[in-house]
Amino acid sequence: MPLILGIESSCDDLAAAVVRDGREILSSVVQSQDAVHAPYGGVVPELASRDHVRYLHVTVERALVRAAVSLEELDGIGVTSGPGLVGSLLVGLSFAKALAYRTGKPLLAVHHIEGHLASARLERDPLALPFVGFVVSGGHTALYRVETLGRIELLGQTRDDAAGEAFDKVAKRMGLGYPGGREVDRAAQEGDPRAFAFPRPMLRERGLEMSFSGLKTAVALQVARAEEDAGGALPRRVRADIAASFQEAMVDVLVTKARRALAATGLERIALVGGLAANRRLRARMTQLEGELGVEVRFPPTALCTDNAAMIAAVADHMLREGRVASLELEAFSRVPLEARPEGWS
Ligand code: KG4
Ligand code: ZN
């Protein structure tokens, strides 16, 4: 029954968690920086890493106290080593290395995306393997075939912006507040998804590649046009219509790609993970697909969809069992594909 401490600091959220046996969450603490970045309408890397330095040690301590576990009782320390903002990653990684050095416990280097995919296995009733894993977050939009943790194959991904990034930029352009995705989701509730015909990129191409920068630009142009028509700020109604129409285009693309990934792999299970898995319209449409195809669609609870350290500890647990321990010399990697990790990562 290994006890693992997980640490996640790859972007703007700082998190620590203790997980037993790769599945049972004894504690999961997330220190959000939304208030730090809100005035800028986006993550400011320098502020993110500085805030991590300030709170990391109390966040880890809180996770250990809530789990009622001492450092000595741990079997391993798992930490996100990439991808992410390098300054942010280094804070968590340096701290984890120091802890591993001082306690003599093994250090497990976790890939952030593998963490997201593991969140589908963190429930009482985990999604059976193999499954299609659809990572829809602020930094990534990619489909994977998950055979088991450690055996994951990329099926297709976005060529440019991540879906969450497009949500955030659309929100910022319309002055909807930060973080943007949730605000677009909220504004869209009052809007008409058919009010504007935005493009559905890459639906005609057969593969599983995606692209969202054209859609984002089309929305920005529409916002500018509507502002001109209104002679100033957008009326609430128009804002809601644009939000709903953008969200519908996005969800159309994501649901179509999910359907194709199921068909291409012949798998009957799919997990949506990452911040966008909290989107109400995406959930509703995927639930429809579940009924239509008779497949199993899984959304982990929102707290596990967004960045957290329980998912990092879950992967670390698996790596420990396979003896894939990292060296204390390990660096942080801002960009690193899941399928081709650098030497020394393990
Ligand atoms: O997984 P996550 O916390 O961080 C990354 O690893 O990127 O995802 C954050 C992303 C942000 O782009 C945020 O705007 C988006 O998820 N998001 C949403 C919703 N909640 C969060 N997007 C659309 N609808 C939501 N309800
Ligand atoms: Zn993430």
Ligand closest to Cα of 311 equals: 2
- Atom 23 of ligand 1: nearest residue by CA position: 181
Q: pLDDT for 7-25, tens place per residue?
A: 999 999 999 999 999 999 9
- Residue 80 confidence (pLDDT) above 70: yes
Q: How confident is the model at residue 214 (pLDDT cuts 50, 70, 90)?
A: very high
What is the secondary structure of 83-111 as a DSSP string?
A: SS-HHHHHHHHHHHHHHHHHH-PPEEEEE
3-class DSSP state for residue 295? coil
Ligand 1 atom with the shortest distance to the CA of 282: 24
pLDDT attached to residue 42: 86
Q: Which of 110, 137, 280 to mutate to test the pocket of ligand 1 (most atoms within 8 A of CB)?
A: 137
Q: Which atom of ligand 1 is nearest to the CA of 274?
A: 1
Instruction: Determine the 3-state secondary structure of 199 from DSSP.
Output: coil
* pLDDT at site 206: 84
Residues with CB under 6 A from ligand 1: 11, 137-139, 164, 167-168, 179-182, 185, 274-276, 278-279, 306-307
Tokens, residue 33 = 């920086």
- List, in order of start, the domains of the chain with CATH numbers: 3-118+305-340 (3.30.420.40), 130-299 (3.30.420.40)
Atom of ligand 1 nearest to the CA of 307: 3
pLDDT in tens, 101-123: 999 999 999 999 999 999 999 98
Here the tokens at position 101 are 């050095």
Strand, helix or coil for residue 210: strand
At residue 344 the predicted structure's pLDDT band, cuts being 50, 70 and 90, is: low
Predicted model pTM:
0.95
Q: What is the pLDDT of residue 256?
A: 97
Mean pLDDT of 137-156: 95
- Burial class of residue 109 (count of CB atoms within 10 Å of its CB; 0-12, 13-18, 19+): buried
